[in-house]
Amino acid sequence: MAIAAVSISPVGEGVSVGRYVAAALRVVRAQDRVRHRLDPMFTTLEGELTDIYALVARMQEAVFAEGAQRVGTVLKIDDRRDRQVEMQDKVSKVEAELA
């Protein structure tokens, strides 16, 4: 299983991009193979890597369908093969260190 952070934004569409982000998130919420969490700067995805790649492509297409002519996508992937780690495990580990 992989954990990924993705940010998809239109380029040249002004300073407010909320409607484009919402279009991408509708795609995420319409599926059930990849878990997700919306954060202020990125959306965190968790699932099989092939499913994440396919979902990111559909998210990007949704931003184009919303009217963007150019889209920038940042994708960071943590693909751990030695053991299963979920996104909440990573957060809990840091919170335990802070306690």
* CATH value at residue 18: 3.30.70.930
Please give the residue range of the domain that contains residue 10. 2-98
Which tens digit of pLDDT belongs to each residue from 18-75?
Answer: 999 999 999 999 999 999 999 999 999 999 999 999 999 999 999 999 999 999 999 9
CA-to-CA separations, 96 to 83, 85, 87, 90, in angstroms, rounded: 20, 16, 15, 10
pLDDT bin (cut points 50, 70, 90) of residue 13 is confident
- Which pTM does this prediction carry? 0.90
**66: closest CA among 5, 16, 6?**
16
- Residues 8, 16, 25, 53, Cα dihedral to 10°: 0
Average pLDDT of span 68-95: 93
Domain count, the chain: 1
Burial of 42 (0-12, 13-18, 19+ CB in 10 A): middle
